[in-house]
Amino acid sequence: MISKQQIKTIHSLRLKKYRDQSGLFVGEGPKVVAELLQSFECTYIAALQSWLEANQTFIPAGVRCDTLQPEELAKTSMLEAPQQVIAIFRKQPDALPTTDALQSELCLALDTVQDPGNLGTILRLARWFGINHVICSPTTADIYSPKVVQATMGALGKVKVAYTPLPQYLASLSNEIPVYGTFLDGTNIYDAPLTSRGIIVMGNEGNGISQETASHITQRLYIPPYPMGSPAIESLNVGVATAITCAEFRRRIMPIPNS
Amino acid sequence: MISKQQIKTIHSLRLKKYRDQSGLFVGEGPKVVAELLQSFECTYIAALQSWLEANQTFIPAGVRCDTLQPEELAKTSMLEAPQQVIAIFRKQPDALPTTDALQSELCLALDTVQDPGNLGTILRLARWFGINHVICSPTTADIYSPKVVQATMGALGKVKVAYTPLPQYLASLSNEIPVYGTFLDGTNIYDAPLTSRGIIVMGNEGNGISQETASHITQRLYIPPYPMGSPAIESLNVGVATAITCAEFRRRIMPIPNS
Protein backbone atom coordinates (compact mmCIF):
# COMPACT_ATOMS: atom_id res chain seq x y z
CA MET A 1 0.00 0.00 0.00
CA ILE A 2 1.32 3.44 -0.97
CA SER A 3 0.26 6.80 0.52
CA LYS A 4 -1.24 9.58 -1.57
CA GLN A 5 1.64 11.78 -0.44
CA GLN A 6 4.19 9.30 -1.79
CA ILE A 7 2.41 9.10 -5.17
CA LYS A 8 2.46 12.91 -5.26
CA THR A 9 6.19 12.94 -4.52
CA ILE A 10 6.90 10.46 -7.33
CA HIS A 11 4.80 12.42 -9.81
CA SER A 12 6.46 15.70 -8.80
CA LEU A 13 9.81 14.24 -9.88
CA ARG A 14 8.61 14.41 -13.46
CA LEU A 15 9.58 18.09 -13.22
CA LYS A 16 13.22 19.22 -13.26
CA LYS A 17 12.42 21.88 -10.65
CA TYR A 18 11.51 19.24 -8.05
CA ARG A 19 14.37 16.93 -9.05
CA ASP A 20 16.77 19.83 -8.54
CA GLN A 21 15.22 20.83 -5.20
CA SER A 22 15.23 17.32 -3.78
CA GLY A 23 18.27 15.87 -5.55
CA LEU A 24 16.14 12.82 -6.38
CA PHE A 25 14.89 11.08 -9.51
CA VAL A 26 12.69 8.11 -10.47
CA GLY A 27 13.47 4.89 -12.34
CA GLU A 28 10.92 2.26 -13.32
CA GLY A 29 10.84 -1.35 -14.41
CA PRO A 30 12.93 -4.37 -13.36
CA LYS A 31 15.76 -3.85 -15.85
CA VAL A 32 16.24 -0.11 -15.26
CA VAL A 33 15.87 -0.35 -11.47
CA ALA A 34 18.33 -3.29 -11.28
CA GLU A 35 20.93 -1.26 -13.20
CA LEU A 36 20.33 1.94 -11.21
CA LEU A 37 20.68 0.06 -7.90
CA GLN A 38 24.28 -0.68 -8.91
CA SER A 39 25.23 2.99 -9.30
CA PHE A 40 22.87 5.19 -7.29
CA GLU A 41 21.76 5.44 -3.68
CA CYS A 42 18.16 4.25 -3.54
CA THR A 43 15.82 6.04 -1.12
CA TYR A 44 12.48 4.36 -1.79
CA ILE A 45 10.97 1.39 -3.62
CA ALA A 46 7.33 0.68 -4.49
CA ALA A 47 6.75 -2.67 -6.19
CA LEU A 48 4.46 -5.60 -6.69
CA GLN A 49 4.78 -8.30 -4.03
CA SER A 50 6.28 -10.66 -6.63
CA TRP A 51 9.10 -8.23 -7.50
CA LEU A 52 9.90 -7.57 -3.84
CA GLU A 53 10.10 -11.30 -3.10
CA ALA A 54 12.27 -12.08 -6.11
CA ASN A 55 14.66 -9.17 -5.46
CA GLN A 56 14.99 -9.17 -1.68
CA THR A 57 18.75 -9.69 -1.80
CA PHE A 58 19.25 -6.66 -4.09
CA ILE A 59 17.34 -4.17 -1.94
CA PRO A 60 19.82 -2.18 0.15
CA ALA A 61 19.29 -2.35 3.92
CA GLY A 62 17.12 0.41 5.37
CA VAL A 63 15.38 1.40 2.15
CA ARG A 64 11.68 1.99 2.70
CA CYS A 65 9.61 -0.39 0.53
CA ASP A 66 5.88 -0.29 -0.19
CA THR A 67 4.04 -3.26 -1.65
CA LEU A 68 1.75 -2.23 -4.48
CA GLN A 69 -1.44 -3.73 -5.82
CA PRO A 70 -1.50 -3.71 -9.66
CA GLU A 71 -4.03 -0.83 -9.66
CA GLU A 72 -1.78 1.20 -7.33
CA LEU A 73 1.18 0.53 -9.63
CA ALA A 74 -0.82 1.87 -12.57
CA LYS A 75 -1.75 4.99 -10.59
CA THR A 76 1.81 5.65 -9.42
CA SER A 77 3.73 4.86 -12.63
CA MET A 78 4.73 7.50 -15.17
CA LEU A 79 4.95 4.87 -17.94
CA GLU A 80 2.22 3.93 -20.39
CA ALA A 81 2.86 0.29 -19.54
CA PRO A 82 3.85 0.15 -15.84
CA GLN A 83 6.41 -2.54 -15.04
CA GLN A 84 6.42 -4.11 -11.58
CA VAL A 85 8.64 -1.60 -9.75
CA ILE A 86 9.15 2.13 -9.23
CA ALA A 87 12.12 3.46 -7.26
CA ILE A 88 13.51 6.81 -6.14
CA PHE A 89 17.27 7.41 -6.34
CA ARG A 90 19.65 10.16 -5.33
CA LYS A 91 21.22 12.07 -8.26
CA GLN A 92 24.99 12.09 -8.52
CA PRO A 93 26.93 15.36 -8.51
CA ASP A 94 28.09 16.63 -11.90
CA ALA A 95 31.51 15.30 -12.85
CA LEU A 96 33.64 16.97 -15.50
CA PRO A 97 36.55 14.91 -16.85
CA THR A 98 39.81 15.34 -14.96
CA THR A 99 42.85 16.73 -16.79
CA ASP A 100 44.24 13.20 -16.93
CA ALA A 101 41.03 11.89 -18.51
CA LEU A 102 41.06 14.70 -21.07
CA GLN A 103 44.66 13.87 -22.00
CA SER A 104 43.96 10.21 -22.58
CA GLU A 105 40.28 9.58 -23.31
CA LEU A 106 37.60 10.31 -25.84
CA CYS A 107 34.73 12.40 -24.40
CA LEU A 108 31.40 13.52 -25.85
CA ALA A 109 29.97 17.04 -25.58
CA LEU A 110 26.30 17.76 -26.39
CA ASP A 111 25.27 21.19 -27.60
CA THR A 112 21.51 21.53 -26.93
CA VAL A 113 20.43 17.95 -27.59
CA GLN A 114 16.81 18.49 -26.59
CA ASP A 115 15.00 15.25 -27.28
CA PRO A 116 15.05 12.91 -24.25
CA GLY A 117 15.03 9.86 -26.54
CA ASN A 118 18.11 11.13 -28.39
CA LEU A 119 19.91 11.87 -25.11
CA GLY A 120 19.07 8.36 -23.86
CA THR A 121 20.38 6.84 -27.10
CA ILE A 122 23.61 8.84 -26.82
CA LEU A 123 24.24 7.77 -23.21
CA ARG A 124 23.74 4.12 -24.25
CA LEU A 125 26.17 4.68 -27.12
CA ALA A 126 28.72 6.26 -24.78
CA ARG A 127 28.63 3.18 -22.63
CA TRP A 128 28.87 0.86 -25.64
CA PHE A 129 31.88 2.71 -26.99
CA GLY A 130 33.69 3.00 -23.66
CA ILE A 131 33.25 6.77 -23.41
CA ASN A 132 33.27 7.72 -19.73
CA HIS A 133 32.37 11.41 -19.88
CA VAL A 134 29.52 13.30 -21.51
CA ILE A 135 29.61 17.09 -21.13
CA CYS A 136 26.24 18.76 -21.76
CA SER A 137 25.31 22.37 -22.46
CA PRO A 138 22.80 23.63 -19.87
CA THR A 139 20.27 23.68 -22.75
CA THR A 140 20.57 19.91 -23.24
CA ALA A 141 17.76 17.72 -21.83
CA ASP A 142 18.11 16.61 -18.20
CA ILE A 143 19.59 13.10 -17.87
CA TYR A 144 17.36 12.52 -14.82
CA SER A 145 14.07 13.22 -16.63
CA PRO A 146 11.90 10.08 -16.63
CA LYS A 147 12.05 9.73 -20.42
CA VAL A 148 15.85 9.84 -20.46
CA VAL A 149 16.19 7.48 -17.50
CA GLN A 150 13.98 4.92 -19.26
CA ALA A 151 15.63 5.45 -22.67
CA THR A 152 19.16 4.88 -21.34
CA MET A 153 18.15 1.39 -20.22
CA GLY A 154 20.44 1.69 -17.21
CA ALA A 155 23.47 3.24 -18.93
CA LEU A 156 22.95 6.14 -16.52
CA GLY A 157 25.47 5.96 -13.71
CA LYS A 158 28.00 4.10 -15.88
CA VAL A 159 28.71 7.33 -17.74
CA LYS A 160 29.74 10.53 -15.92
CA VAL A 161 27.77 13.59 -16.94
CA ALA A 162 28.22 17.31 -16.27
CA TYR A 163 26.27 20.38 -17.38
CA THR A 164 28.32 23.45 -18.22
CA PRO A 165 28.30 26.19 -20.89
CA LEU A 166 30.27 24.63 -23.76
CA PRO A 167 31.94 27.70 -25.32
CA GLN A 168 33.55 28.66 -21.99
CA TYR A 169 34.44 25.08 -21.19
CA LEU A 170 36.05 24.41 -24.56
CA ALA A 171 37.91 27.74 -24.37
CA SER A 172 39.39 26.70 -21.03
CA LEU A 173 40.99 23.53 -22.42
CA SER A 174 44.61 23.15 -23.41
CA ASN A 175 45.22 23.68 -27.13
CA GLU A 176 46.59 20.17 -27.36
CA ILE A 177 43.18 18.62 -26.92
CA PRO A 178 41.47 18.07 -30.25
CA VAL A 179 37.83 19.17 -30.39
CA TYR A 180 35.85 17.43 -33.14
CA GLY A 181 32.43 18.29 -34.54
CA THR A 182 30.39 17.24 -37.59
CA PHE A 183 29.42 19.85 -40.17
CA LEU A 184 28.13 19.83 -43.74
CA ASP A 185 31.40 21.42 -44.90
CA GLY A 186 33.82 19.35 -42.80
CA THR A 187 36.47 16.87 -43.90
CA ASN A 188 35.17 13.40 -44.83
CA ILE A 189 35.40 11.51 -41.53
CA TYR A 190 36.83 8.48 -43.38
CA ASP A 191 39.68 10.61 -44.68
CA ALA A 192 40.35 12.69 -41.55
CA PRO A 193 43.00 11.88 -38.96
CA LEU A 194 41.21 10.78 -35.79
CA THR A 195 42.79 10.38 -32.39
CA SER A 196 41.97 8.17 -29.41
CA ARG A 197 41.53 11.21 -27.17
CA GLY A 198 39.72 14.52 -27.42
CA ILE A 199 36.16 15.80 -27.39
CA ILE A 200 33.49 15.03 -29.98
CA VAL A 201 30.78 17.73 -30.03
CA MET A 202 27.30 16.76 -31.27
CA GLY A 203 24.75 19.46 -32.02
CA ASN A 204 21.06 20.30 -31.71
CA GLU A 205 18.40 18.30 -33.59
CA GLY A 206 17.33 21.18 -35.79
CA ASN A 207 20.22 23.63 -35.79
CA GLY A 208 23.35 21.56 -35.32
CA ILE A 209 26.26 23.02 -33.38
CA SER A 210 25.83 26.65 -32.30
CA GLN A 211 28.17 29.25 -33.77
CA GLU A 212 29.63 30.10 -30.39
CA THR A 213 30.53 26.47 -29.71
CA ALA A 214 31.64 25.85 -33.30
CA SER A 215 34.33 28.51 -32.99
CA HIS A 216 36.17 26.24 -30.51
CA ILE A 217 36.10 23.18 -32.75
CA THR A 218 39.51 22.39 -34.16
CA GLN A 219 38.62 19.42 -36.41
CA ARG A 220 35.55 19.81 -38.61
CA LEU A 221 34.28 16.41 -39.79
CA TYR A 222 31.63 15.38 -42.29
CA ILE A 223 29.66 12.13 -42.49
CA PRO A 224 29.22 11.49 -46.22
CA PRO A 225 25.93 10.22 -47.65
CA TYR A 226 26.05 7.53 -50.35
CA PRO A 227 26.70 7.86 -53.17
CA MET A 228 29.13 10.54 -52.12
CA GLY A 229 28.17 13.95 -53.39
CA SER A 230 24.49 13.08 -53.57
CA PRO A 231 22.54 16.02 -52.24
CA ALA A 232 22.42 15.71 -48.47
CA ILE A 233 18.69 16.36 -48.51
CA GLU A 234 18.50 16.40 -44.78
CA SER A 235 20.78 15.83 -41.85
CA LEU A 236 21.06 12.56 -39.98
CA ASN A 237 19.31 12.20 -36.64
CA VAL A 238 21.76 13.18 -33.86
CA GLY A 239 21.67 9.74 -32.21
CA VAL A 240 22.49 8.08 -35.50
CA ALA A 241 25.22 10.63 -36.31
CA THR A 242 26.77 10.04 -32.87
CA ALA A 243 26.72 6.27 -33.51
CA ILE A 244 28.46 6.56 -36.89
CA THR A 245 31.03 9.04 -35.55
CA CYS A 246 31.93 7.06 -32.42
CA ALA A 247 32.08 3.79 -34.37
CA GLU A 248 34.60 5.32 -36.78
CA PHE A 249 36.78 6.74 -33.96
CA ARG A 250 36.81 3.35 -32.27
CA ARG A 251 37.39 1.39 -35.50
CA ARG A 252 40.58 3.35 -36.13
CA ILE A 253 42.21 2.33 -32.90
CA MET A 254 40.80 -1.15 -32.65
CA PRO A 255 43.16 -4.04 -33.36
CA ILE A 256 41.84 -6.05 -36.29
CA PRO A 257 42.18 -9.68 -35.19
CA ASN A 258 42.72 -11.79 -38.32
CA SER A 259 44.08 -9.53 -41.03
CA MET B 1 -14.07 24.63 -42.64
CA ILE B 2 -13.89 20.85 -42.34
CA SER B 3 -16.82 18.42 -41.95
CA LYS B 4 -17.17 16.08 -39.00
CA GLN B 5 -17.17 13.18 -41.43
CA GLN B 6 -13.81 14.27 -42.86
CA ILE B 7 -12.27 14.55 -39.38
CA LYS B 8 -13.59 11.05 -38.68
CA THR B 9 -12.01 9.74 -41.89
CA ILE B 10 -8.64 11.26 -40.98
CA HIS B 11 -8.75 9.83 -37.47
CA SER B 12 -9.75 6.40 -38.77
CA LEU B 13 -6.50 6.29 -40.79
CA ARG B 14 -4.63 5.98 -37.51
CA LEU B 15 -5.61 2.31 -37.72
CA LYS B 16 -3.94 -0.10 -40.15
CA LYS B 17 -7.28 -1.77 -40.81
CA TYR B 18 -8.72 1.40 -42.34
CA ARG B 19 -5.51 2.27 -44.16
CA ASP B 20 -5.58 -1.18 -45.76
CA GLN B 21 -9.28 -0.94 -46.64
CA SER B 22 -9.00 2.51 -48.20
CA GLY B 23 -5.44 2.38 -49.51
CA LEU B 24 -4.91 5.83 -47.95
CA PHE B 25 -2.68 7.34 -45.27
CA VAL B 26 -2.15 10.72 -43.56
CA GLY B 27 0.86 13.03 -43.50
CA GLU B 28 1.10 16.23 -41.44
CA GLY B 29 3.20 19.36 -41.29
CA PRO B 30 4.73 21.52 -44.05
CA LYS B 31 7.98 19.55 -44.39
CA VAL B 32 6.45 16.07 -44.47
CA VAL B 33 3.54 17.08 -46.74
CA ALA B 34 5.88 18.87 -49.18
CA GLU B 35 8.04 15.72 -49.44
CA LEU B 36 5.06 13.36 -49.77
CA LEU B 37 3.52 15.50 -52.52
CA GLN B 38 6.60 14.65 -54.62
CA SER B 39 6.06 10.88 -54.42
CA PHE B 40 2.42 10.11 -53.62
CA GLU B 41 -0.95 10.90 -55.15
CA CYS B 42 -2.67 13.36 -52.81
CA THR B 43 -6.44 13.00 -52.40
CA TYR B 44 -7.22 15.67 -49.80
CA ILE B 45 -5.66 18.65 -48.01
CA ALA B 46 -6.82 20.49 -44.91
CA ALA B 47 -4.68 23.47 -43.95
CA LEU B 48 -4.55 26.92 -42.47
CA GLN B 49 -5.32 29.70 -44.92
CA SER B 50 -1.70 30.87 -44.72
CA TRP B 51 -0.33 27.46 -45.80
CA LEU B 52 -2.81 27.19 -48.68
CA GLU B 53 -1.88 30.63 -49.95
CA ALA B 54 1.87 30.01 -49.71
CA ASN B 55 1.68 26.58 -51.37
CA GLN B 56 -0.90 27.09 -54.11
CA THR B 57 1.54 26.13 -56.85
CA PHE B 58 2.38 22.82 -55.18
CA ILE B 59 -1.21 21.62 -54.76
CA PRO B 60 -2.05 19.24 -57.61
CA ALA B 61 -5.05 20.20 -59.73
CA GLY B 62 -8.36 18.75 -58.62
CA VAL B 63 -7.38 17.97 -55.04
CA ARG B 64 -10.09 18.90 -52.58
CA CYS B 65 -8.82 21.47 -50.08
CA ASP B 66 -10.46 22.63 -46.85
CA THR B 67 -9.36 25.80 -45.08
CA LEU B 68 -8.96 25.24 -41.34
CA GLN B 69 -9.26 27.56 -38.40
CA PRO B 70 -6.49 26.93 -35.82
CA GLU B 71 -8.99 25.24 -33.47
CA GLU B 72 -10.16 22.95 -36.29
CA LEU B 73 -6.54 22.06 -37.05
CA ALA B 74 -6.01 21.08 -33.42
CA LYS B 75 -9.15 18.91 -33.49
CA THR B 76 -8.22 17.20 -36.75
CA SER B 77 -4.50 16.66 -36.19
CA MET B 78 -3.03 13.45 -34.77
CA LEU B 79 0.10 15.29 -33.58
CA GLU B 80 0.67 16.75 -30.13
CA ALA B 81 1.77 19.98 -31.80
CA PRO B 82 -0.33 20.38 -34.98
CA GLN B 83 1.54 22.01 -37.86
CA GLN B 84 -0.41 24.02 -40.42
CA VAL B 85 -1.39 21.20 -42.80
CA ILE B 86 -2.87 17.70 -42.86
CA ALA B 87 -3.10 15.71 -46.09
CA ILE B 88 -4.36 12.33 -47.26
CA PHE B 89 -2.30 10.35 -49.76
CA ARG B 90 -2.70 7.10 -51.68
CA LYS B 91 -0.37 4.31 -50.55
CA GLN B 92 1.95 2.81 -53.14
CA PRO B 93 1.85 -0.88 -53.98
CA ASP B 94 4.51 -3.05 -52.36
CA ALA B 95 7.65 -3.29 -54.49
CA LEU B 96 10.18 -6.07 -53.99
CA PRO B 97 13.59 -5.51 -55.58
CA THR B 98 13.92 -6.81 -59.14
CA THR B 99 16.46 -9.55 -59.92
CA ASP B 100 18.67 -6.88 -61.46
CA ALA B 101 18.50 -4.74 -58.31
CA LEU B 102 19.34 -7.76 -56.14
CA GLN B 103 22.38 -8.52 -58.31
CA SER B 104 23.78 -5.02 -58.06
CA GLU B 105 22.44 -3.18 -55.00
CA LEU B 106 22.51 -3.30 -51.25
CA CYS B 107 19.04 -3.85 -49.73
CA LEU B 108 17.78 -3.88 -46.14
CA ALA B 109 15.45 -6.50 -44.65
CA LEU B 110 13.68 -5.91 -41.31
CA ASP B 111 12.69 -8.87 -39.16
CA THR B 112 9.94 -7.65 -36.80
CA VAL B 113 11.14 -4.08 -36.19
CA GLN B 114 8.13 -3.05 -34.12
CA ASP B 115 8.82 0.46 -32.90
CA PRO B 116 7.52 3.10 -35.36
CA GLY B 117 10.33 5.49 -34.35
CA ASN B 118 12.96 2.86 -35.18
CA LEU B 119 11.30 2.08 -38.51
CA GLY B 120 11.24 5.79 -39.34
CA THR B 121 14.91 6.14 -38.44
CA ILE B 122 15.81 3.15 -40.62
CA LEU B 123 13.91 4.51 -43.65
CA ARG B 124 15.76 7.85 -43.25
CA LEU B 125 19.04 5.93 -43.04
CA ALA B 126 18.18 3.92 -46.15
CA ARG B 127 17.71 7.15 -48.05
CA TRP B 128 20.93 8.65 -46.66
CA PHE B 129 22.94 5.59 -47.65
CA GLY B 130 21.41 5.22 -51.11
CA ILE B 131 19.57 2.00 -50.29
CA ASN B 132 16.53 1.76 -52.57
CA HIS B 133 14.75 -1.28 -51.16
CA VAL B 134 13.62 -2.21 -47.67
CA ILE B 135 11.97 -5.64 -47.31
CA CYS B 136 9.88 -6.00 -44.13
CA SER B 137 8.52 -9.05 -42.37
CA PRO B 138 4.72 -8.81 -42.01
CA THR B 139 5.38 -8.41 -38.26
CA THR B 140 7.32 -5.17 -38.82
CA ALA B 141 5.50 -1.88 -38.07
CA ASP B 142 3.46 -0.37 -40.92
CA ILE B 143 5.35 2.30 -42.86
CA TYR B 144 2.08 4.19 -43.32
CA SER B 145 1.26 4.48 -39.61
CA PRO B 146 1.18 8.17 -38.58
CA LYS B 147 4.18 7.79 -36.25
CA VAL B 148 6.34 6.26 -38.98
CA VAL B 149 5.24 8.78 -41.60
CA GLN B 150 6.22 11.64 -39.27
CA ALA B 151 9.47 9.96 -38.14
CA THR B 152 10.71 9.37 -41.70
CA MET B 153 10.62 13.13 -42.32
CA GLY B 154 9.62 12.51 -45.93
CA ALA B 155 12.02 9.64 -46.73
CA LEU B 156 8.88 7.64 -47.43
CA GLY B 157 8.30 7.33 -51.14
CA LYS B 158 12.03 7.70 -51.89
CA VAL B 159 12.62 4.16 -50.60
CA LYS B 160 10.68 1.18 -51.99
CA VAL B 161 9.17 -1.03 -49.34
CA ALA B 162 7.54 -4.48 -49.47
CA TYR B 163 6.10 -6.72 -46.76
CA THR B 164 6.73 -10.44 -47.16
CA PRO B 165 7.65 -13.39 -44.91
CA LEU B 166 11.44 -13.19 -44.75
CA PRO B 167 12.36 -16.89 -44.39
CA GLN B 168 10.50 -17.81 -47.58
CA TYR B 169 11.77 -14.73 -49.39
CA LEU B 170 15.40 -15.32 -48.48
CA ALA B 171 15.08 -19.03 -49.35
CA SER B 172 13.86 -18.07 -52.83
CA LEU B 173 16.97 -16.01 -53.64
CA SER B 174 19.91 -17.18 -55.73
CA ASN B 175 22.76 -18.55 -53.61
CA GLU B 176 25.03 -15.91 -55.09
CA ILE B 177 23.34 -13.13 -53.16
CA PRO B 178 25.03 -12.58 -49.80
CA VAL B 179 22.65 -12.23 -46.86
CA TYR B 180 24.17 -10.36 -43.89
CA GLY B 181 22.93 -10.13 -40.33
CA THR B 182 24.39 -8.93 -37.01
CA PHE B 183 24.75 -11.41 -34.15
CA LEU B 184 26.65 -11.52 -30.87
CA ASP B 185 28.74 -14.41 -32.22
CA GLY B 186 29.35 -13.06 -35.73
CA THR B 187 32.61 -11.99 -37.39
CA ASN B 188 33.83 -8.51 -36.41
CA ILE B 189 32.27 -6.29 -39.09
CA TYR B 190 35.58 -4.40 -39.46
CA ASP B 191 37.35 -7.66 -40.31
CA ALA B 192 34.65 -9.22 -42.49
CA PRO B 193 34.58 -9.04 -46.28
CA LEU B 194 31.65 -6.79 -47.25
CA THR B 195 30.21 -6.43 -50.73
CA SER B 196 28.38 -3.61 -52.48
CA ARG B 197 25.37 -5.83 -53.09
CA GLY B 198 23.29 -8.20 -51.01
CA ILE B 199 20.76 -8.03 -48.22
CA ILE B 200 21.41 -6.77 -44.69
CA VAL B 201 18.91 -8.21 -42.20
CA MET B 202 18.19 -6.23 -39.01
CA GLY B 203 16.27 -7.86 -36.17
CA ASN B 204 13.64 -7.18 -33.53
CA GLU B 205 14.24 -4.68 -30.70
CA GLY B 206 14.17 -7.30 -27.96
CA ASN B 207 14.89 -10.60 -29.64
CA GLY B 208 17.09 -9.81 -32.60
CA ILE B 209 16.80 -11.90 -35.76
CA SER B 210 14.40 -14.87 -35.51
CA GLN B 211 15.85 -18.36 -35.79
CA GLU B 212 13.88 -19.09 -38.93
CA THR B 213 15.25 -16.01 -40.68
CA ALA B 214 18.74 -16.50 -39.24
CA SER B 215 19.04 -19.89 -40.94
CA HIS B 216 19.12 -18.07 -44.30
CA ILE B 217 21.87 -15.66 -43.33
CA THR B 218 25.15 -16.46 -45.05
CA GLN B 219 27.40 -13.81 -43.44
CA ARG B 220 27.11 -13.39 -39.68
CA LEU B 221 28.53 -10.03 -38.57
CA TYR B 222 29.24 -8.53 -35.16
CA ILE B 223 29.49 -4.85 -34.16
CA PRO B 224 32.22 -4.77 -31.49
CA PRO B 225 31.86 -2.62 -28.38
CA TYR B 226 34.89 -0.68 -27.15
CA PRO B 227 37.21 -1.74 -25.70
CA MET B 228 36.81 -4.92 -27.71
CA GLY B 229 35.94 -7.89 -25.57
CA SER B 230 34.28 -5.73 -22.91
CA PRO B 231 31.10 -7.46 -21.86
CA ALA B 232 28.37 -6.49 -24.32
CA ILE B 233 26.04 -5.66 -21.45
CA GLU B 234 23.20 -4.97 -23.75
CA SER B 235 22.54 -4.78 -27.44
CA LEU B 236 22.58 -1.57 -29.45
CA ASN B 237 19.27 0.02 -30.42
CA VAL B 238 18.26 -1.34 -33.87
CA GLY B 239 18.30 2.13 -35.50
CA VAL B 240 21.81 2.76 -34.23
CA ALA B 241 22.99 -0.74 -35.24
CA THR B 242 21.58 -0.18 -38.74
CA ALA B 243 23.44 3.14 -38.95
CA ILE B 244 26.79 1.64 -37.94
CA THR B 245 26.35 -1.35 -40.26
CA CYS B 246 25.29 0.67 -43.33
CA ALA B 247 28.05 3.25 -42.73
CA GLU B 248 30.66 0.48 -42.73
CA PHE B 249 29.32 -1.14 -45.92
CA ARG B 250 29.37 2.22 -47.67
CA ARG B 251 32.79 3.21 -46.31
CA ARG B 252 34.34 0.12 -47.88
CA ILE B 253 33.28 1.00 -51.39
CA MET B 254 33.62 4.76 -51.12
CA PRO B 255 36.56 6.37 -52.89
CA ILE B 256 38.73 8.18 -50.34
CA PRO B 257 39.48 11.57 -51.91
CA ASN B 258 42.88 12.69 -50.62
CA SER B 259 44.75 9.63 -49.48
Closest to A190 (Cβ–Cβ): which among B124, B127, B251? Answer: B251
Residue of A121, A154, A248 lying closest to B240 (CB–CB): A121
Give the span between the Cα atoms of A122 and B47, in whole angstroms: 36
Are B219 and B143 contained in the same domain? yes
Cross-sheet strand order for the sheet of B198-202: B160-163, B133-136, B106-110, B198-202, B179-188, B219-222
Chain B residues touching A225 at Cβ < 8 A: 128-130
Q: Which pLDDT band holds residue A258 (cuts at 50, 70, 90)?
A: very low
Residues of A within 8 A of B248 (CB-CB) are: 247, 251
Helix boundaries (H) for chain A: 4-12, 16-22, 30-39, 49-54, 70-76, 99-104, 116-128, 146-151, 166-171, 211-214, 238-253
- Domain match, A79 and A108 both: no
- Same domain (yes/no): B64, B135: no
| Overall average pLDDT of the A24-41 stretch | 95
- A258 belongs to a structural domain: no
What percentage of chain B reaches a pLDDT higher than 90?
87
Decide if A239 touches B, using CB distance below 8 A: yes
Residue A207 placed within a domain: yes
DSSP summary character for residue A93: P
* pLDDT score for A206: 87
pLDDT reported for residue A255: 57
Residue A226, min C-alpha distance to chain B (Å): 5
- Nearest C-alpha in A relative to B232: A128
**Segment A214-219 mean pLDDT:** 97
Is A125's CB within 8 Å of B227's CB?
no
* B226 CB within 8 Å of a chain A CB: yes
Q: Look at residue B234 in the predicted model and tell me its pLDDT.
A: 66
Q: What is the pLDDT of residues A90-140, one digit of tens each?
A: 999 999 999 999 999 999 999 999 999 999 999 999 999 999 999 999 999
Does residue B258 form part of some domain? Answer: no
For residues A82 and A111, state if they share a domain: no
- Give the residue from A84, A76, A80 showing the smallest Cα distance to A3: A76
Give pLDDT tens digits for B56-112. 999 999 999 999 999 999 999 999 899 999 999 999 999 999 999 999 999 999 999
Q: Are residues A148 and A83 in the same domain?
A: no
Chain B contact present for A124, CB below 8 A? yes
Tell me how close the Cα of B229 comes to any Cα of chain A, in angstroms: 11
Closest CA to A95 of A157, A167, A13, A24: A157
B116 touches chain A (CB under 8 A): no
Per the domain annotation, does B259 fall within a domain?
A: no
The arithmetic mean of pLDDT across residues A56-77, rounded, is 95
The minimum CA-CA distance between A129 and chain B, rounded to whole Å, is: 5
* Any A CB within 8 A of B54 CB: no
Domain membership flag for residue A186: yes
Beta carbons of B24 and B90 less than 8 angstroms apart: yes
CATH of the domain at A249: 3.40.1280.10
Domain count, chain B: 2
Predicted TM-score (pTM) of this structure: 0.91
| Residue B221 belongs to a domain | yes
CA distance A5 to chain B (A): 30
A237 vs B: CB within 8 A = yes
